[in-house]
Chain A
Amino acid sequence: MPNAEEIKQRIEAAIPGARAEVEDWTGGGDHFKATVTAAAFADRSRIEQHRLVYEVFGAEIGGPIHALSLKTQSPQDD
């Protein structure tokens, strides 16, 4: 079962320069909430930004990771 730290590390490893804060939303190990900041998000629509993060997990989203709530931003939005 994935945990918040593992999800954070996978996002940061897969998206160059990304910083992620991940929390286990319910404590149940399947609903997570992530705030991801990455330069790669600049000039991409919100849909595309979220897709980049979802793609890190592929079919795990909706499977072992029941929900991954996202907030994405590029560094200059900080």
Chain B
Amino acid sequence: MPDTEQSSEIREAIAQAISEHETILFMKGTPDAPACGFSARTVAALQSLQAPFAAVDVLPDPRIREELSAISRWPTIPQLFVKGELVGGCDIVLEMYESGELAQTLGVEEDEADVGESAEETPTVAPGLTQIENRLG
């Protein structure tokens, strides 16, 4: 398959994952084993709000990152999307976490999060992209 065709397939899979998951984080590594401090801090903020989120590891194929950045017009990883919109990278997510805006954006109440039941199981990879990654080997 020509490269351009594969790239557009990756781009479509990314766009689909963003539209299918209310909260989705593109990161280096996985929530359990982040491969970069910025990704780790972003995951920690989401987890401390007990917000369920899907996560995509961009490391297995450099094209995931290239296509993602082309879609989002955002050069760095991590990138958090909520309801199809880019919320920000690590700096913005942490700023919003500290101000309470993140809880609001994610639709979780901070007070409830503090005393609430344990968070839902976090899916580690968006299904559409797993498929793409597997196919690319």
Residue of A nearest to B69 (CB): A62
**Counting CB contacts under 8 A, is B75 at the interface?**
yes
**Counting CB contacts under 8 A, is A1 at the interface?**
no
Kindly specify which of A7-15, A16-24, A45-53 makes contact with the partner chain.
A45-53
On chain B, the residues within 8 Å of A51 by CB distance are 73-74
User: How many residue pairs, one in A and one in B, have C-beta atoms under 8 Å apart?
Assistant: 32
Number of chain A interface residues as a range: 10 to 19
Q: Are A62 and B76 in contact (CB under 8 A)?
A: yes
Instruction: For residue B82, give the distance in angstroms from its CB to the closest CB of chain A.
Output: 12
CA–CA, A46 and B74, complex, Å: 12
On chain A, the residues within 8 Å of B74 by CB distance are 47, 51, 54
On chain B, the residues within 8 Å of A61 by CB distance are 75-76
Contact indicator per residue, chain B 49-81, by CB within 8 Å of chain A (1) or not (0): 000000000000000010000000111100000
